[in-house]
Amino acid sequence: MKNYLNEIGKFPTPTQEHYLEYFKTKSDKVKNFIIEGNLQLVYQQGKKYQKYVDTETFEDVIFEGNLGLIKAVEKFNPNKGYKFSTYAAFWIASSMISFLKNNSKTADKTISLENEFTNLDEEEGSNFIDLIASEEPDTKELDNYYLAKNLTKLQNVLTTREYDVLCYSFGVDGYEELDLNEIAYRLEYTPETIRSIREGALKKIRGVYSLNDF
């Protein structure tokens, strides 16, 4: 990892002109320049999660973050007025957290998607997450974050059981965030039943509300 850091530290930092040029031309050369110039941003983001994993897995976390960075470069619109570093931090964090949620039990209990994205919201303004949501409403992690953030507003469309399952899933409204098996144990259902309830509840909400309704 030390050699990797030395290598990525040699890449020059992209300027606003580079982001504007790529947005206009979609040049692969400029795209690669921007990606290389922001690899240190991925490492900085990844350091927040390093304590949850071993060295080999941490390298996987960085790899996932790089994929998030690539998506950020491809989607970033410099004319919106937001800083690329903040915009990219969302996609990098989303990729890393998604990986950690599936590969680290410690991180699964500790990392909060809501906290991560709220911090980004506060950095750029309350409508920053709204902006990303409008660009890619099918993004799973963002979609789930938005539902969690607004779940109490949507309580009237859910049964008590569905509401409990979603609250435990996302750790909102005073509920402890639990994994699938823990929710099943707590509510005395099978994990597969909890999964079915969760998916049905999410589908019900998305069928009634769109992200723009929030």
Give the DSSP letter string of 50-90. Answer: GGGS-HHHHHHHHHHHHHHHHHHHHH--GGG---HHHHHHH
38 CB contacts (<8 Å, ≥6 apart)? 14, 69, 73, 84, 85, 88
CATH class of this structure's domain 2-145: mainly alpha
Residue 178 parent element (H or E)? none
Weakest-pLDDT range from 68-77, 129-138, 190-199: 129-138
Model confidence band, residue 32 (pLDDT cutoffs 50, 70, 90):
very high
pLDDT band (50, 70, 90) for residue 149: low
CA 10/CA 38 separation, integer angstroms: 11
CA dist 125 and 203 (Å) reads 29
Which residue has 């992209």 as its token pair? 14
CB distance 142 to 133 below 8 Å: yes
Question: Containing H/E element for 188?
Answer: none
- pLDDT for 139 beyond 90: no
Top CATH class, 152-213: mainly alpha
Q: Is 57 left (phi over 0), alpha (psi -120 to 50) or beta?
A: alpha
Are 187 and 178 within 8 A, CB to CB? no
- Domain ranges in the chain are 2-145, 152-213
Average pLDDT over residues 130-150: 57
pLDDT at 26: 95
Token representation of residue 160 = 């008590």
**Does 80 have pLDDT greater than 60?**
yes
pLDDT at 118: 56
User: Do residues 73 and 22 make contact, with C-beta atoms less than 8 angstroms apart?
Assistant: yes
- pLDDT for position 213: 44
CA angle 176, 178, 182 (to 5 degrees): 125
pLDDT digits (tens, 9 = 90+) for 153-177: 778 888 999 999 988 887 777 888 8
